[in-house]
């Protein structure tokens, strides 16, 4: 009987430790998501500014293309982070 309680106690301790780890990882991912959103918004503003006048030169066109690519990358990163957070929340809800 004592062994059963010891096993249960060990499992509870491991579950609590894992919960702490997942919580910390979730907070970290939320921070990364906020940073990615900020970078995406900044890139979108820069892109909007770069697309202003129609008679822009080649350098501005290259910069605009670069910003478009960066926005796409940031959006993809944001989606990946969002998916990871959803998985963590799912794990936390099952505990």
> pLDDT tens-digit profile of 51-70?
665 555 677 778 888 888 88
For residue range 20-52, what is the model confidence (pLDDT) as tens digits?
Answer: 888 888 888 889 888 988 888 888 888 777 766
- Residue 53's pLDDT is what? 59
Residue with token string 């249960």:
8
pLDDT in the model for residue 95: 65
pLDDT at 62: 84
Q: For residue 80, give the H/E element and its range.
A: helix 58-94
Domain definitions of the chain by residue range:
2-94
Residue 29 dihedral angles phi and psi, to the nearest 5°: -65, -35
């Amino acid at each position: 009987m004592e062994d059963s309680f010891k096993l249960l106690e060990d499992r509870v301790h491991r579950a609590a430790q894992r919960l702490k780890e997942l919580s910390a990882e979730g907070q970290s991912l939320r921070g990364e998501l906020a940073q990615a959103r900020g970078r995406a918004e900044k890139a979108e503003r820069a892109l909007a500014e770069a697309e202003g006048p129609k008679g822009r030169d080649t350098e501005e066109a290259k910069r605009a293309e670069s910003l478009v690519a960066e926005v796409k990358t940031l959006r993809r990163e944001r989606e990946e982070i969002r998916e990871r957070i959803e998985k963590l929340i799912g794990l936390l809800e099952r505990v």
